[in-house]
């Protein structure tokens, strides 16, 4: 069957993956309300295109943390990718090199930091950037050893996950007594307990027990200072959902914020990431880069996130579906598909370049279906957005709104 959208990749992946593996990749926490809302949030926003613009060429290039990428779509950290395909993270890295975008490598990868960098640097293509996702372990020297290894081989940033003092309750994983297949391990660790390659986890999710044993639940903002003192790489916090934490992150000197609810796998009932994005962007006021992940399934989703102020958008599960379908080629195909969808969405909305977005983004109040808008300044252009994280929504008749024109 020809794969023409992200859901085609997922359906094929569901058929080829073992049930416990598919469940692990797909599921969210508890009743999975936030998991559904991450996707549904994009349907609450509408694009208002501009016409009679010259869109004969559309430039998708973007700079993320000083690195030029072919598009503002990057690969998020997802653990244990060799459960999806024998080449796992190395196949994903090669695909990112081919497409010319960035990949965030999970600390819980089934390929080592060094193997993934080698795969990217030796494969065909002229782009590709690697960043390391980092958990702060109870063993701080172990934590720093991962950072040093990443620095040594050329990773460009550290994305520290801040929303996982414990693992969220993922019911499918509990039912499946999820643990790593016996032929695999978390390859960046030398001991069996830290590599998640053996252990008796009883009737719980094995990964939940692993996190409780290994990850430090006492981490606080001072640990961001500690990490920054021990690396020359930019530090980005992954897992921010509100203005207060965003402002705090900026005060601690982070280089970026990834608006994320961990793929809805931690605390069920939190806001969809798209709904939290504009609040964070406003709070940061350009003092660091802001990215978002969660629920992205189409090029129009990417455009909506960009119009709400994201510098770049990250995807996780869709990449796993591409990997399960056809390894490196499947991931490349998936990324190229979304790139083409974004290019078309940009053109049809009258936009030549991400830096000069002219389309407005309108939020429809789910209770009244009334369009609610406010203006948001992004350099030369102004487009309509609204914060939906607070209870107060302001209704403006569209005819009274003033938007700059770049003509």
3-class DSSP string for 158-196: EEEECCCCCCCCCHHHHHHCCCCCCCCCCCCCCCCCCCC
What does each C-alpha distance from 306 to 290, 295, 301, 389 come to in angstroms? 10, 14, 9, 18
pLDDT at 192 over 90: no
pLDDT at 406 over 60: no
> Is 225 annotated as contributing to ligand binding?
no
| Secondary structure of residue 356 in the 3-state scheme | helix
Q: Rounded to the nearest 5°, which phi and psi values hold at 304?
A: -60, -40
What average pLDDT does this structure show over 309-328?
98
Rounded distance, CA 346 to CA 164, Å?
35
What average pLDDT does this structure show over 192-203?
67
Cα-based angle 298, 82, 124 (whole degrees, multiple of 5): 70
> Is 78 annotated as contributing to ligand binding?
yes
pLDDT at 372 over 70: no
> Is 316 annotated as contributing to ligand binding?
yes
Question: For 242-281, how does the pLDDT look when each residue is reduced to its tens digit (9 = 90+)?
Answer: 999 999 999 999 999 999 999 999 999 999 999 999 999 9
Q: Which two tokens stand for residue 7?
A: 């859901």
| Secondary structure of residue 212 in the 3-state scheme | helix
Q: Which two tokens stand for residue 304?
A: 């909506």
Calculate helix-pair angle for 243-251, 273-284, nearest 10 degrees. Answer: 40
pLDDT at 397 over 60: no
Rounded distance, CA 369 to CA 103, Å?
38
What are the helix (H) ranges across 243-377?
Answer: 243-251, 273-284, 299-307, 317-348
**Is-contact 295 274, C-beta < 8 A?**
yes
> Is 79 annotated as contributing to ligand binding?
yes
What pLDDT is stored for residue 180 in this prediction?
86
Q: Which two tokens stand for residue 256?
A: 């970026």
pLDDT at 222 over 80: yes
Q: Active site residue: 177, 230, 262, 353, which one?
A: 262
What pLDDT is stored for residue 203 in this prediction?
59
Sequence ranges of the domains in the chain: 6-42+58-348
Which residue in 105, 77, 111 sits closest to 195, CA to CA? 111
> Is 156 annotated as contributing to ligand binding?
no
pLDDT at 145 over 50: yes
**Is-contact 346 356, C-beta < 8 A?**
no
Q: Which residues pair with 160 in a beta bridge?
A: 134, 237
Residues 6+ apart with CB under 8 A from 28: 34, 35, 170, 263, 264, 265, 268
Element (H, E) at 14: helix 6-16
Q: How confident is the model at residue 129 (pLDDT cuts 50, 70, 90)?
A: very high
> Is 293 annotated as contributing to ligand binding?
yes
Which residue in 385, 387, 328, 379 sits closest to 87, CA to CA? 328
Q: How confident is the model at residue 5 (pLDDT cuts 50, 70, 90)?
A: very high
More confident residue, 381 or 202: 202
> Is 262 annotated as contributing to ligand binding?
yes
129-158 exposure pattern, b = at least 16 Cβ within 10 A, e = fewer: bbbbbbbbbeeeebbbebbebbbebebbbb
> Is 294 annotated as contributing to ligand binding?
yes
pLDDT at 368 over 60: no
Q: Is 262 a catalytic residue?
A: yes
The pLDDT mean for the chain works out to 89
Q: Rounded to the nearest 5°, which phi and psi values hold at 106?
A: -70, 140
What pLDDT is stored for residue 200 in this prediction?
56
* pTM for the whole structure: 0.90
> Is 161 annotated as contributing to ligand binding?
yes
In the chain, what is the straight-line distance between the N-terminal and C-terminal CA atoms, in Å?
A: 45
Residues in the chain, total = 407
Per CATH, which fold does 6-42+58-348 belong to?
TIM Barrel (3.20.20)
- 309 burial (CB, 10 Å; 0-12 / 13-18 / 19+) is buried
Q: Which two tokens stand for residue 10?
A: 């997922």
Calculate helix-pair angle for 140-153, 113-122, nearest 10 degrees. Answer: 10
Question: For the chain, what is the radius of gyration of the CA atoms?
Answer: 21
């Amino acid at each position: 069957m020809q794969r023409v959208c992200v859901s085609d990749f997922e359906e094929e992946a569901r058929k080829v993956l073992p049930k416990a593996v598919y469940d692990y990749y797909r599921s969210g926490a508890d009743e999975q309300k936030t998991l559904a809302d991450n996707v549904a949030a994009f349907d609450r926003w509408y694009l208002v295109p501009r016409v009679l613009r010259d869109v004969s060429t559309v430039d998708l290039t973007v700079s993320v943390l000083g690195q030029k990428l072919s598009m503002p779509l990057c690969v998020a950290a997802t653990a244990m990718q060799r459960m999806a395909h024998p080449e796992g993270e190395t196949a994903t890295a090669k695909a990112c090199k081919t497409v010319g975008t960035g990949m965030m490598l999970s600390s819980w990868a089934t390929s080592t930091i060094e193997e993934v960098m080698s795969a990217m640097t030796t494969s065909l293509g002229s782009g590709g950037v690697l960043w390391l996702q980092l958990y702060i372990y109870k063993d701080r020297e172990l934590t720093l050893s991962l950072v040093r290894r990443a620095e040594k081989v050329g990773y460009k940033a550290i994305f520290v996950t801040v929303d996982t003092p414990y693992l969220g309750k993922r019911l499918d994983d509990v039912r499946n007594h999820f643990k790593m297949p016996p032929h695999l391990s978390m390859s960046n660790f030398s001991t069996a307990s830290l590599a998640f390659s053996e252990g008796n986890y009883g009737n719980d999710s094995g990964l939940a027990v692993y996190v409780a044993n290994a990850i430090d639940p006492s981490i606080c903002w001072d640990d961001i200072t500690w990490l920054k003192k021990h690396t020359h790489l930019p530090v980005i916090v992954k897992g921010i959902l509100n203005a207060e934490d965003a402002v705090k992150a900026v005060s601690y000197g982070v280089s970026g914020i990834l608006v994320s609810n961990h793929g809805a796998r931690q605390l069920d009932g939190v806001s969809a990431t798209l709904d939290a994005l504009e609040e964070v962007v406003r709070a940061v006021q350009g003092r660091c880069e802001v990215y978002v992940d969660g629920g992205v399934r189409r090029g129009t989703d990417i455009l909506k996130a960009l119009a709400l102020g994201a510098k770049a958008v990250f995807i996780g599960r869709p990449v796993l579906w591409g990997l399960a379908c056809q390894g490196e080629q499947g991931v490349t195909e998936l990324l190229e598909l979304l790139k083409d969808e974004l290019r078309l969405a940009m053109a049809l909305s009258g936009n030549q370049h991400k830096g000069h977005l002219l389309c407005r983004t309108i939020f429809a109040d789910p209770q009244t279906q009334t369009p609610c808008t406010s203006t948001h300044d992004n350099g030369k252009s102004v487009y309509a957005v609204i914060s939906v994280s607070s209870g107060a929504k302001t209704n403006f008749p569209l005819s009274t709104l003033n938007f700059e024109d770049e003509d």
